[in-house]
């Protein structure tokens, strides 16, 4: 590096350093915040509401709080989508509380689809255990990235991006997914737009999709509870 010869040279070097600092990636939390104690088994029934759940008193904690068998059973895929997500999030498994991680089990019947959805609070990774699936990810720039996966293969879904998994094989598909949040949340696009309560006004949907109200009515009728 050039040695500083005078005041103005020093000033220029200082300015360049300052600009360089602003160009560095800012430190950020890319997942849930770190825990402040060994564990905090969620007391999901507590009357207190905090960012996460209050901890169950340590005296009440047992081995069972650290284990969960909710993902061991095959989900029932007899529904219009032909798929079912079994959550292993903090609500199902309070031992995950504050740890910034969780998993789901996804069962997809042949021809079934885990419909386009996004997780507002987490990036996702997954591994296909059985079957053959088409995984698609759509970016904020409307570019589709996709691939057909075979057992043992993994995928990653960047935080918040819309994605889907379709069973394109002859057999049932089984996927285990993992998240960097104890409660990633899921915005399922068709349900979010066409099955909300109260419902999104028809005028919003006819304009957004550039179709007649009869088309919107038909789609809404498919998801009417
Ligand atoms: C902890 O255990 C005590 C004694 O069994 C019980 O009264 C209390 O409700 C428990 N608290 C929680 C949060 O589980
Ligand atoms: C799966 O769900 C369908 C529709 O709700 C129901 O009729 C069927 O009995 C369920 N199958 C099993 C094995 O629980």
Distance in Å, CA 60 to ligand 1 centroid: 6
What is the model's pLDDT at position 6? 53
Domain boundaries in the chain?
A: 31-186, 195-225
Distance in Å, CA 95 to ligand 1 centroid: 16
What is the model's pLDDT at position 151? 98
| CATH no., domain 31-186 | 2.60.120.10
What is the model's pLDDT at position 76? 98
Blockwise average pLDDT, block size 10, the chain, 225 residues: 49 54 55 84 89 94 98 97 98 97 98 98 97 98 98 97 98 98 97 96 98 97 87
What is the model's pLDDT at position 49? 81
- Ligand number nearest CA of 84 is 2
Q: What is the pTM of this model?
A: 0.84
Ligand 2 mutation target, pool 74, 75, 76, 109, most atoms within 8 A of CB: 76
- Ligand number nearest CA of 48 is 1
Distance in Å, CA 89 to ligand 2 centroid: 24
Distance in Å, CA 79 to ligand 2 centroid: 9
Whose CA is closest to atom 9 on ligand 1?
Answer: 60
Does residue 76's CB lie within 6 angstroms of at least one atom of ligand 2?
A: yes
What is the model's pLDDT at position 36? 81
Whose CA is closest to atom 12 on ligand 2?
Answer: 76
CB atoms within 10 A of CB 11: 11
Does residue 63's CB lie within 6 angstroms of at least one atom of ligand 2?
A: no
What is the model's pLDDT at position 4? 44
What is the model's pLDDT at position 51? 84
């Amino acid at each position: 590096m050039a040695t500083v010869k005078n005041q103005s040279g020093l000033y220029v070097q200082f300015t360049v350093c300052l600009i360089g600092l602003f160009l560095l990636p800012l430190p950020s939390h890319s997942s849930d915040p770190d825990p402040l104690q060994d564990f905090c088994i969620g007391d999901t029934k507590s009357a207190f509401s905090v960012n996460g759940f209050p901890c169950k008193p340590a005296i009440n904690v047992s081995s069972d709080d650290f284990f969960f068998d909710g993902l061991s059973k095959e989900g029932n895929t007899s529904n219009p989508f032909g798929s079912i997500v079994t959550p292993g999030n903090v609500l199902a498994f309070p031992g995950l509380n504050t740890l910034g991680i969780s998993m789901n089990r996804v069962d997809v019947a042949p021809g079934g689809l885990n419909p386009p959805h996004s997780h507002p609070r987490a990036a996702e990774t997954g591994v296909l255990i059985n079957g053959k699936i088409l995984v698609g990810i759509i970016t904020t720039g409307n570019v589709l990235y996709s691939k057909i996966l075979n057992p043992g293969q993994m995928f990653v879904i960047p935080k918040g991006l819309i994605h889907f998994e379709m069973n394109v094989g002859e057999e049932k598909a089984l996927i285990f997914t993992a998240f960097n949040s104890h409660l990633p949340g899921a915005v399922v696009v068709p349900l979010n737009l066409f099955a909300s309560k109260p419902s999104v006004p028809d005028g919003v949907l006819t304009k957004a999709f550039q179709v007649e109200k009869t088309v919107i009515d038909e789609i809404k009728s498919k998801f009417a509870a």
